Every structure is written in structure tokens, then in C-alpha cells.
Amino acid sequence: MLNKHYKIAIIGAGTIGTALGNILASTGTEPILLHSIETQIVDGINENHINSKYFPALHLHPGLHATNNDRLLENCEVIFLAIPSVVMIGYLKTVRSHLPSGALFVNLAKGFGSESKTIFDCLKEEFPNPVCTMKGPSFAVEIINHIPTGFTLGFENPGHVSRIKEIFTGTNIHLDFSNDIRGVEILSILKNIYAVVLGIVDAQFNSPNLRFLILTKAFREMRRVLKWFGGREDTLFNYCGYGDFTLTALNDLSRNRTLGLLIGKGFFTEHVSHELVLEGKTAAMVFYQEISKTMAVEDHFPIIAELYHIFHTKYDISLFVNTILNFPEV
């Protein structure tokens, strides 16, 4: 019988949820509840201490308890949200009656919650709970292997900072902090767009000079988009900004960089588009459409505009890099 009085839960037993849950359980401070709708994962963790779907070769800490029983969420004080952004709000509505109104939600997902609204905005509209967000350069496979990893905690209430610090004390998770919670959320989406761009560049040219020229152009445009969407410029220099962007743009474990590599090599097809989770493609569309309501995207944010055209027009990809290089500095 599982302990029925968990203080900390993680909803979502994918890579990031399992990794963080295992790290927290390994401190031995208290048992950690990992909530999943997948019965096979729940049974595998509880019976064999293995998540056979996401980490089949790793033995998980016995203090990590899995469940698909929604009632076990009812006493939680902190609930980490580690499910995909596109389904998060809808799913949380289905378990609403089991979510304590005072529990602190900590959003780990990177993406829009609904149309052009951030997950933070959607959570604030739908639930009475206080909300923080955690974003940073954080491949789950490295977290679960105890590699030091940085996250930015975006917060509204400074009183929540000490609670999250306490939770991660003694782990490999290193935190910095920002009360620009909107900026933290926006940067976690923006970085996927420019990771696709760097993937295209690297697929066509193996050139450090060119790579970091385009990286700099992309970083400048990220700054402008961030400010346009109401974020603060200084948030770029938190883990959620420069750190997460460069990890995603330059490391081949990144899905969005891989998407760029496929596009740059001419292997991207509609079949690939439907089979993969393509955050960068979705983000480029949303940002382009939102900005175009008030200004010409091509004049102010040309890299986003060019990527949008790749996805929505007949585009000669061999011209992409020279086109980016010839954009005037804005």
C-alpha cells in the first residue's frame, strides 16, 4: 500500500518527470509520488523500480512511487507538471477535483498552453493555485545520471523560492531565479524556433564561423521577440535564456535541432512532420501570426518569418543561409 500523504507529486512519468522524481527520491528526505495514466509504467516502477518505456536500463530509487490513482494527489503541497504542453490544461481539468487549491504548481513543460497563451497564463485562468515555472538547459538523461543541471525558477510570490530551494537541496539541480515569469515561459518556446534555424545551417555548412554568426543573429532576434511579448531583456541571461537556447540549438540530442538538420539535408517531409513532436514548427507559426496582427514580421523579425515560409510555402532550402546572411541588422 502506497503512502497516502505525499507532499510532493510529479504529474507525468515521461523522461523529465521520471528524471526529476528519481533525483528527488534519492535525497531520502521524503517519498515522491509520480503520477501517470500508463498502467504499464506505474506497475514497472512499483514492482521493479524501472520505467521500461523511457529509462529501461536504469534502476530507479525505491523512494519513487508511481500511481494512476488521482486521489493520492489530494494532500500534495507541491505538484510538478511534466506533461506535454498541448494536453496539459485539458488533462488537469479532468483531475481538478483532486488537486488541492493551495498546492503550488511548478510547470516544467515548454510550449504554448492554448493558441498564443503561455501555460502559466492558462493555469492562472483555469485554477486558483499559485504557479511557478522551471526552465533550463536540461536533457533528462543527464539529470537522471546526476549531472549538474541548471534551471531558472520563474515565480510571482518570493515566498515560493525558499520552498523550491529546499526541495532541491542536496541534488544535482542548480537554480537561478527570475520574477519575470512571462519571460521565462516565452524563452522556453522561442529557443525551439532558433534551434531549427541552427540545425539547417549546420546541415549545409560545417563552419564554426558561420554557425556562431547565425547564432548571434538569432540571439539578437530572440531578445527583440522577448521584449515584444512582454518579457524582460535580463531574463535572457538566466539558465532559461542563453543556456537553454544554446543547448537546444547546438546539441544533437535536441529534437528541434534534428528537425533543422532534416530540413537542411532535404529529408523533411509531411510524413516526418506528422510523426514527430515539432515544437519549433508550431512556435514559428504562433509567433508569426501573433506579430503579424500589428506589424510586418519580415521587417522586424526576419528569421522567424523565413522559417515560417519554409513550413508554409514552396521554398528552395538551398537559398536559406544566404537569405539569413543578407538580412539587414534591425
Q: Which residues are catalytic?
A: 191
Residue 326 neighbours by CB under 8 Å, 6+ apart: none
Could you tell me if residue 151 is left (phi over 0), alpha (psi between -120 and 50 degrees) or otherwise beta?
beta
- For 18, residues 6+ apart whose C-beta sits below 8 A from its C-beta are 34, 51, 54, 55, 60, 64, 140, 144
Dihedral of CA atoms 161, 166, 171, 175 in degrees, nearest 10, equals 10
Q: Burial level of 210, CB count in 10 A (0-12/13-18/19+)?
A: middle
| Cα gap 36→13, rounded to integer Å | 6
Please tell me the distance from the alpha carbon of residue 117 to that of residue 189, in angstroms, as a whole number: 11
